[in-house]
Structure 1
Amino acid sequence: IELVVVNTPNFTHVDYTRRSLQAGKHVLVEKPFTPSSVEAKELFELASSMGKKIFVYHNRRWDSDCTSIQKVVESGQLGEISEVHYRYDRYRRAIGPKKFKEEPQEASGLMYDLGPHLLDQAISLFGKPKSFYKILGKHRENTKVDDYFMIHLAYPNDLNVFLTSSLLVADPQKAFVLHGSKGSYVKGRSDVQEEQLLNGMKIDNPLFGIEAPESKGRLTIMDEQSNPQVSYVDSEDGNYMGLFESVYQSLANDIPYPVTEDQIIAQLEILES
């Protein structure tokens, strides 16, 4: 055995990762990696001293949504981006059965559950923010942990990124909204991989990871006369296997894993604050 996968309740990640490293194994760890940045740094240092690698499981970076947004941003069609909104909403009024998410303990609550996804997507695309501000809320009856959060990330050149998640959204809003000097891009959350896997679809199915045609993002570009030119952008295919391929390439060929230690530390510094 060369690689141990830690996919256990959040508060156990540190202990199991440490034990796996001490046993001489590489580790793939579910998000959130650790409750704190200090613990993350300690584990990264331990891995380095043991000649082993830690990979944090951020599969949402390989969502069709995330890769489609990256393609639009990198194309330059939006011009200088000034405002970005990411949302990850659900409607779950009842307290969930997973106690490690619903009890007030380390790394519990919605922010530590869905916050890592949104932060990873934002940080991977725009980098570490120069400052941040966040709000937490408790809105469900009898909840013991946060079930709402909003994180504002401030970047150079007055770029503002807003990450929002709630467990009480009956009418989901567009999950991705980007505004730039030349236009806007709007897209719903529509990656299909998780649903397909839960329904028993195999990853070698030709339809795996392919969004429905109506899920295309809407791109609005203003022409020289300030008239809107609207088009619908084909989505990239979702590809969770890209994560596992990256783990393999790192172990077999020493190619750097895309989810870097610095990105994880930046994420945790926001989550723990």
Structure 2
Amino acid sequence: MMQNSNPSRTINTGLIGYGFGGRTFHAPVIDRVEGLALRKVVQRHGYSALERYADVEIVRSVEELLADEELELVVVATPSTNHYEVVKACLEAGKHVVVEKPFTATSAEADALIELSEERGLLLSVFHNRRWDGDFLTLRGLLQQGTLGDIVDVEMHWHYFDPVPSHRGWREDDAPGTGIFYDLGSHFIDQALCLFGLPDEVEGDVRVRRPGGTAVDYYDVRLHYGTGLKVRVSSSKTVREPGPRYIVHGTRGSFVKHGLDPQEPALIKGLQPGDAGYGVEAEALWGRLSCVKDGLQFSGHVATLPGDYPAYYRNVHAALTAGAELAVTAREARDVVRVIEAAMRSSAGGGGRVPLAPAGAKLGAGEEVSSQK
């Protein structure tokens, strides 16, 4: 993967896709990470990358971008419905790849890409940027310090109000890899696996609830662990008044957190990492901690750590230039898809618990998993 250790080396980078994800999460973050240089963008329509990045070259096809031998890293920010095909083409062209989440529509596709990247000696990572949300960083710190004791129940919720299907854009299509479960659920599942590892069993309720809808717009999924821990992840597009984002209970106390990380709205407004106030959450949204330790009781708010999406790309640069261990591996992202598939199997079977299939396992007859229900 790494050719010569040179942490100051600049990695010429190409971006495939300048839709919402490409222009909001990838281009502005790459632009602020030392050692990464955004050189080319595949853009066919919509906003022009030249409006913000005057030195970028616009090309109209993936093939044209991949023909540039000076590009080492390619970021794939296309719809998840074609991640497999585009990432495969990038790897076959000898490029290191970062791909937007969800990794692929199926774990079989993910396994094939992992095998190809390893055969070619190329970096392959998935942009699970929500590991660097400030609220998640704060929760992770509390758990690492043992503040809450042994964790027994966790809830992660991401609700909003969009009761009428728009049918605008690929996310509302009935196609593999679309819908709110793949889109938002993949973030929560990744966070759960980071904190607690793979579950033993999964149960899911995944469905289309809005009249006229075709893509999944609701999921309520539970991950069960042999220790007795239960992690619930859920999202719905028909919640006008969302409750807490995180509810975490342990043997020493509880942590409850409302609100969404401020980095996305900041990026949408045109702010970039490093600008004043970027990633800093308002005090009114700090999480509430109630705990007991060594006979002392505490109840109060915990300042949310600043969010840091650039940390993801700093790690990618360090992996390519200095041999650093990848923060988000393709195998970890593949495991997220495995959990999604297990939840789909559970939902299709009436919602009971199903074991998590081993990595690389092929489904038997009657176990095919559709991306929708």
Name 1:209's counterpart in structure 2: 279
1:120 aligns with 2:173: no
Q: How far apart are residue 98 of structure 1 and its match?
A: 4.0
Give the one of 103, 124, 128 matched to 1:54.
124
Q: How far apart are residue 204 of structure 1 and its match?
A: 1.6
**TM-score, L = length of structure 2:** 0.70
1:9 aligns with 2:55: no
C-alpha distance in structure 2 between counterparts of 1:202 and 1:160, whole Å: 37
Name 2:314's counterpart in structure 1: 245
C-alpha distance in structure 1 between counterparts of 2:161 and 2:78, whole Å: 24
Runs of 4 or more off by more than 4 Å in structure 1? none
1:91 aligns with 2:157: no
Superposed CA offset, 1:162-204 (max 9, x none): 0011111100110100001111000013310010111111212
Secondary structure of 2:148 counterpart: coil
C-alpha distance in structure 1 between counterparts of 2:115 and 2:270, whole Å: 39
C-alpha distance in structure 2 between counterparts of 1:119 and 1:189, whole Å: 18
Secondary structure of 2:184 counterpart: helix
C-alpha distance in structure 2 between counterparts of 1:189 and 1:37, whole Å: 31
Larger radius of gyration: 2
Change in Cα spacing, 1:256 to 1:223, as seen in structure 2 (3 Å) is closer
C-alpha distance in structure 1 between counterparts of 2:164 and 2:288, whole Å: 34
CA RMSD between the two structures: 1.5
1:236 aligns with 2:340: no
Secondary structure of 1:200 counterpart: coil
Bigger shift: 27-36 or 88-97?
88-97
The aligned amino acid for 1:122 is: A
The aligned amino acid for 1:248 is: H
Secondary structure of 1:5 counterpart: strand
1:261 aligns with 2:337: no
Aligned runs of 1:42-191 on 2, under 5 Å? 42-191=112-261
Superposed CA offset, 1:35-77 (max 9, x none): 1111101101101111111110111110001101101111111
> Retained in 1: the 8 A contact 2:167–2:173?
no
**TM-score, L = length of structure 1:** 0.95
The aligned amino acid for 1:101 is: R
The aligned amino acid for 1:269 is: R
C-alpha distance in structure 1 between counterparts of 2:122 and 2:292, whole Å: 50
Superposed CA offset, 1:212-251 (max 9, x none): 01111100114677x9631211111000000110111111
Q: How far apart are residue 146 of structure 1 and its match?
A: 1.4
> Retained in 2: the 8 A contact 1:78–1:182?
yes
1:270 aligns with 2:319: no
Secondary structure of 1:194 counterpart: helix
Number of matched pairs: 272
Q: Which stretches in structure 2 are left out of the alignment for 5+ residues? A: 1-70, 343-373
Q: How far apart are residue 261 of structure 1 and its match?
A: 3.1
C-alpha distance in structure 1 between counterparts of 2:111 and 2:130, whole Å: 23
Q: How far apart are residue 96 of structure 1 and its match?
A: 3.3
> Retained in 2: the 8 A contact 1:218–1:231?
yes
